Amino acid sequence: MELSAQDISGLKITPLGGLGEIGLNMMLFEYGDDLIIVDCGLMFPEPHMLGIDIVIPDISCLLHRKESIRGIFLTHGHEDHIGALPYILREINPPVYGTALTLGFVSEKLKEFELEGAVKLVCVKPRERVAAGCFSIEFIRVAHSIVDGCAFAIHTPEGVVIHTGDFKIDQTPVDGELTDLATFARYGEEGVLALLADSTNVEREGYTLSERLVGDAFDNIFPKCQARIIVAAFSSNIHRVQQVMEAAARAGRKVLLNGRSMIANVRIARELGYIDIPDSLLIDLKELPGLPKEQICMITTGSQGEPMSALSRIAMDDHKQIKLEAGDTVILSSRFIPGNEKTISDLINHLYRRGAEVFHENVSEVHVSGHASQEELKLILNLVRPSWFLPIHGEYRHLVQHARLAEKVGIPRERCIIMTNGDVVAFAAGEACVLDKVEHGRVFVDGKGIGDVGEIVLKDRKHLSEDGMVVVIIGIDQETGKIIYGPDIVSRGVVFEDDSREFLEQARRVVMECLEQLNIEVLGEWTEVKQEVRTVLKRFFKKTIARRPVISLPELMVFSHSHD
């Protein structure tokens, strides 16, 4: 239905990221002068984002409302939910709420960005409620591939909104902490205005396997290994690390932690009591040479084949302290993130070239997902029984299929709203509609630059990477129009110059002929000269080699006439 102008004061829900994409999760909840944010995640660059380190949400629409922001609420500690915080908190600085491990990871990030002590961090336990302006938020325990994940029951003047965060229903979690279905059911009985639920695994039928199955796989693999074992996993997956530790101890192996984030996250988890590791089980890198191979287990980062990661350097025989040898076993204990398949495949090939045996999710149960599959998603829908359903966290097809799944359990199609980033979904008097669109988008982080690289620069980088660059150096007397230097032509990524001198000489003659046809007035205007030279060279390269190199004419080579 259409909401009238007076209804604009109702509840508004606006995603700034995380819809139609994997990562970049950020959601706004607004009522009157109060605004809260759920999650503040990053996204790793897509293949076309050449040179970009990470991507963060555009928060331009928030900058004029800083004083209205009552808090940032974090569902869990994965990078796609907390990774943008150090950048965003330089622009806005409300209190940040989360569970203990989540804030432990956040605190480590803030130290790295020299923001320690500049941000108020508030630790919240599951089933506790926090007041934030007109909102009241209850944390609800959920199982996921990281410890201390939570859903939120957000109490608003228009009704309760449930935000699941990332979740699965694991009946045998490693830490014994079950998804709190009783609380979801309680809210379902009391009445829920809207449910926002994770759509990542909506294409998978049945139920997601329990994390304990990975431990069983480790117990099956470890005793059969005759040499060293290297397990690559996400450093945030504390349950996975715990299970590797336990399997190593049972197999009589010592454990070496490798990778900066792995060492830091395990330290934080130990300090907070989320992982139980006896000091006698851990070894230092310098102890490695003195131990028999059959007593060594390493846990490392780099399961996605990241170029500078520890595992990639080991696979390429480029690690100073760790050399892979025939008979070693490597276990990639994480999912293949979409887009990384070729990189991971290359990594596995290099590991085999070193003589290692490799286990990964396609050949063994060394990884299970942390996201709910179809039957679990149906269960949450049936427990909560929302008036409105808004699928979140996933590519567009995931959102559509989740809405269809909701229809199957009885939620009318007209009460399923498929949002896109920037949509303002308004709720008033039990009704809802997409009311508006706010400024949103992606901000690229390249080195120390934040937002100074845009789509045009990326397009230029793509152009350079595909077609190369040609530099034309010309010196012209601005008063007489006489050519006093060049034209010289230098190419990079177009043709191999040593083998193509005749080709580049032909290009130089084309430029020279162009210059000879220009009158003195045009030759005295460098902008005109550049345009003419670019035009003839573009035509030449297209005709001769069917390529479109970037053509540059350095302006410094223009000379003014001087008198003796």
Q: Is 75 within 8 Å of 150 (Cβ atoms)? A: yes
Give me the catalytic one of 239, 371, 393, 440.
371
Domain-wise residue ranges, the chain: 10-206+369-450, 212-359, 468-557
- Element (DSSP H or E) covering residue 42: none
- Element (DSSP H or E) covering residue 464: helix 455-467
Round the average pLDDT of the chain to a whole number and report it: 88
Task: Write out pLDDT tens, residues 273-318.
Answer: 999 999 999 999 899 989 999 999 999 998 887 777 888 888 888 8
Active site residue 239: no
The residue among 165, 242, 239 whose CA lies nearest residue 198 is: 165
Give me the catalytic one of 39, 180, 198, 477.
198
Active site residue 198: yes
Task: Write out pLDDT tens, residues 122-135.
Answer: 999 999 999 999 99
Same fold, 212-359 and 468-557: no
Over residues 65-93, the mean pLDDT reads 95
Instruction: Give CA torsion, residues 102, 106, 109, 110, to 10 deg.
Output: -160
Cα-only R_g, the chain: 29
What CATH class does 10-206+369-450 carry? alpha beta
Residue percentage of the chain with pLDDT more than 90: 63
CATH topology of domain 468-557: Ubiquitin-like (UB roll) (3.10.20)
Name the amino acid, one letter, at 557: M
Q: What angle do CA 242, 245, 250 make, to 5 degrees?
A: 130
| Residue with tokens 């029951």, as numbered in its chain | 153
Task: Assess whether pLDDT exceeds 80 at residue 189.
Answer: yes
Taking the C-alpha atoms of residue 245 and residue 275, their distance in angstroms, rounded to an integer, is 10
Taking domain 212-359, whether its CATH number is 3.60.110.10 is answered by no
Taking the C-alpha atoms of residue 265 and residue 77, their distance in angstroms, rounded to an integer, is 11
> What pTM did the predictor assign?
0.82
Torsion sign, CA atoms 55, 61, 64, 69: negative
Q: Which long-range contacts (CB under 8 A, 24 or more apart) does 305-309 make?
A: 305/340, 305/343, 305/344, 305/346, 305/347, 306/343, 309/259
Q: Which long-range contacts (CB under 8 A, 24 or more apart) does 543-548 make?
A: 544/503, 544/506, 545/494, 545/495, 547/467, 547/468, 547/494, 548/463, 548/467
Task: Write out pLDDT tens, residues 269-282.
Answer: 999 999 999 999 99
Which segment of 45-54, 121-130, 539-548 scores lowest on mean pLDDT? Answer: 45-54
Distances (CA, A) of 106 to 86, 113, 136, 167, 334: 9, 11, 23, 20, 22
